[in-house]
Amino acid sequence: MLRSYIASLALITGLLTGSTLGQTFANNVTGISGTWSTGSGHVRTGLGFFNPITKNFTMPSTSGTSYSFTDDGFFETSTFTYKSNPQVNRCFTAALSWQHGKFTFNANNSLSLSPFPADGFVQVISPCAGQTVQMFHYSQFELIPMWNIYTDPHPGFQSGGGSAYAMTLYNDGGNGQAGAAKNVMWLVERPPAMLPTEQLYQEVLNSVGAEGSGDAKS
């Protein structure tokens, strides 16, 4: 169930992403460190989104994605997706995911994001399903074949003018080649808003280890 859910999330994400393949790595105008967020910027990394001690998520007011990076090679990601049910309003499906770990700049300008598998979680909320709230371990390695940072003169998240740094990450289109662009993210905090960057937990319980697509915990 989780696997097909994640597959459909990937599909939704793919449909929402624009095609901005024209931008190149040469557009990098500032460092990668900071917290980057899509859209209205409501989804952010850090304690406001996920509390790793209580393992509680706080649902943001709008869906979105956030990536944070440090100068010393750590990353954190938060995603919140929301799928309404046009037939029955109360039967939405929401998913919140959080993970963190280490990233490396590869020789071919790609980025590798390697999460700490024991720390990541995804929570799926579907009020009309038998079990309305489910938590799973979540650990998704990600290769970002291409990425670029540029100055956006008209950032979508603010109407009052003023430019902002924007970042486009690309999905792995297969064989490490750049595929579709992810939704553009804007720099919303620097230094980044992140939870402690070290690994917090030691073991993954009941790991099923299926390509990191989310290991059932309970």
Ligand X SMILES: *[C@@H]1O[C@H](CO)[C@@H](O)[C@H](O)[C@H]1NC(C)=O
Least distance to ligand X, CB of residue 106, Å: 4
Could you tell me if 98 and 112 are in contact, meaning their C-beta atoms sit under 8 angstroms apart? no
| Residue 54 found at the interface with ligand X (CB under 6 A) | yes
| Residue 56 found at the interface with ligand X (CB under 6 A) | yes
Residues of this chain, 98-127, that bind ligand X according to CB under 6 A = 105-106, 108, 110, 112
Least distance to ligand X, CB of residue 95, Å: 16
| Residue 132 found at the interface with ligand X (CB under 6 A) | no
Instruction: Kindly give, in sequence order, each residue whose CB lies less than 8 Å from that of residue 33, ignoring residues fewer than 6 positions away.
Output: 69, 70, 71, 190, 191, 192
| Residue 131 found at the interface with ligand X (CB under 6 A) | no
From residue 16, alpha-carbon distances to 3, 12, 22, 81, 91 in Å are: 20, 6, 18, 12, 22
CA distance 55 to 53: 5
Q: Which stretch binds ligand X (CB under 6 A): 28-36, 78-86, 94-102, 199-207?
A: 28-36
Contacts with ligand X: how many residues (CB under 6 A)? 14
Tokens describing residue 49: 């989104």
Instruction: Kindly give, in sequence order, each residue whose CB lies less than 8 Å from that of residue 60, ignoring residues fewer than 6 positions away.
Output: 42, 43, 44, 49, 80
| Residue 31 found at the interface with ligand X (CB under 6 A) | yes
| Residue 151 found at the interface with ligand X (CB under 6 A) | no
Q: Which stretch binds ligand X (CB under 6 A): 24-32, 117-125, 134-142, 185-193?
A: 24-32
Residues of this chain, 159-178, that bind ligand X according to CB under 6 A = 176-177
Tokens describing residue 79: 């995603």
Which residue, chain included where needed, has tokens 């989104």?
A: 49
Tokens describing residue 106: 């590869």
| Closest to ligand X by CB, 56 or 62 | 56
Which residues form the interface with ligand X (CB under 6 A)?
28, 30-31, 54, 56, 105-106, 108, 110, 112, 143, 145, 176-177
